[in-house]
């Protein structure tokens, strides 16, 4: 049975990836920093749970050690933070948090899990965002961190190809997940933003987390694909 680790697997896109992986016969482990939420999600999904904060190097080290002996077939770097506000309002603390969680964490976790991935000739899928390619007002730090993820993906894909480890990226667009409700906006504001965005999405709607999950699994199972970024955005990147 192939094994998969999904960071931030307790909600949204990560939860959907874990659910579909379980359905496809993978041995699934999800991790996150909120013990109650991760334990609850793991129970619902029937998968294994590990409590770990990917902004903390020591916890990344402990997480990776759990896969050293048996190896790991798939790592999905999904955990991330997203907060939107004007650049004038960002602090150094905001900068540090975005880059610790959204890029340093995935980089360190991939590094520490490399022996386990090499053992299984495994693969890595990083969850990015089309925002890094298209831009969005009030999203400078989020976009910067996801742009870093894209560059990181392409570079280590070339570096690790001789070792039999594939590295790719999936870039979602407007996806209807609980993340939308964490932006500090009123329900009316969220509805207004969604209505506007749906007018500029060629398919005319928000995507579902399950639709992203299907693309992630397709990428994982596409054995001749590495260094690629697949957009899941209803056609926005083509406009």
Residue 200, domain member (yes or no): no
Q: Does a structural domain hold residue 196?
A: no
pLDDT in single tens digits along all 239 residues of the chain: 999 999 999 999 999 999 999 999 999 999 999 999 999 999 999 999 999 999 999 999 999 999 999 999 999 999 999 888 889 999 999 999 999 999 999 999 999 999 999 999 999 999 999 988 887 788 899 999 999 999 999 999 999 999 999 999 999 998 987 766 655 566 776 777 788 788 889 999 999 999 999 999 999 999 999 999 999 999 988 88
Q: Answer whether residue 107 is part of any domain.
A: yes
| Whole-angstrom distance, CA of residue 152 vs CA of residue 146 | 10
Instruction: Please check whether residue 186 lies inside any domain of the structure.
Output: no
CATH of the domain at 114: 3.40.50.720
Which domain range does residue 136 map to? 3-181+209-232
Residue tagged active-site, from 26, 95, 142, 224: 142
Does 199 fall in a domain? no
pLDDT reported for residue 177:
79
**197: in domain:** no
Look up residue 173 and give its two tokens. Answer: 């667009």
Question: In this structure, is residue 188 part of a structural domain?
Answer: no
**Dihedral of CA 33/34/35/39: which sign?**
negative
User: How far, in Å, are 67, 110, 122, 123, 233 from residue 4 at the CA level?
Assistant: 10, 13, 10, 10, 25
Q: How much is the pTM?
A: 0.94
On whether residue 28 sits in a domain, the answer given is yes
Q: Which two tokens stand for residue 75?
A: 């790592």
Q: Look up 224 and say whether it is catalytic.
A: no
Domain count, the chain: 1
Instruction: Please say whether the beta carbons of 178 and 12 come within 8 A.
Output: yes
């Amino acid at each position: 049975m192939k094994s998969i680790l999904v960071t931030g697997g307790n909600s949204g896109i990560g939860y959907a990836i874990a659910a579909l992986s379980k359905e496809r016969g993978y041995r699934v482990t999800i991790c996150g920093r909120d013990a109650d939420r991760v334990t609850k999600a793991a129970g619902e999904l029937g998968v294994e749970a590990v409590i770990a904060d990917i902004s903390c190097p020591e916890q990344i080290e402990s997480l990776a050690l759990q896969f050293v002996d048996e190896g790991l077939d798939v790592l999905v770097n999904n955990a991330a933070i997203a907060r939107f506000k004007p650049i004038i309002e960002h602090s150094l603390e905001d900068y540090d948090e975005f880059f610790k969680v959204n890029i340093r964490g995935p980089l360190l976790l991939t590094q520490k899990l490399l022996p386990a991935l090499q053992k299984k000739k495994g693969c890595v899928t990083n969850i990015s965002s089309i925002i890094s390619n298209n831009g969005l007002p009030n999203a400078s730090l989020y976009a910067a961190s996801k742009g870093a993820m894209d560059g990181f993906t392409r570079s280590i894909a070339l570096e690790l190809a001789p070792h039999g480890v594939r590295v790719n990226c999936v870039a979602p667009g407007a996806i209807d997940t609980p993340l939308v409700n964490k932006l500090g906006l009123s329900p009316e504001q969220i509805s207004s933003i969604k209505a506007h965005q749906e007018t500029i999405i060629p398919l005319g709607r928000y995507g579902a987390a399950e639709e992203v999950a299907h693309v992630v699994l397709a990428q994982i199972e596409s054995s001749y694909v590495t260094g690629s970024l697949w957009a899941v955005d209803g056609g926005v990147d083509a406009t």
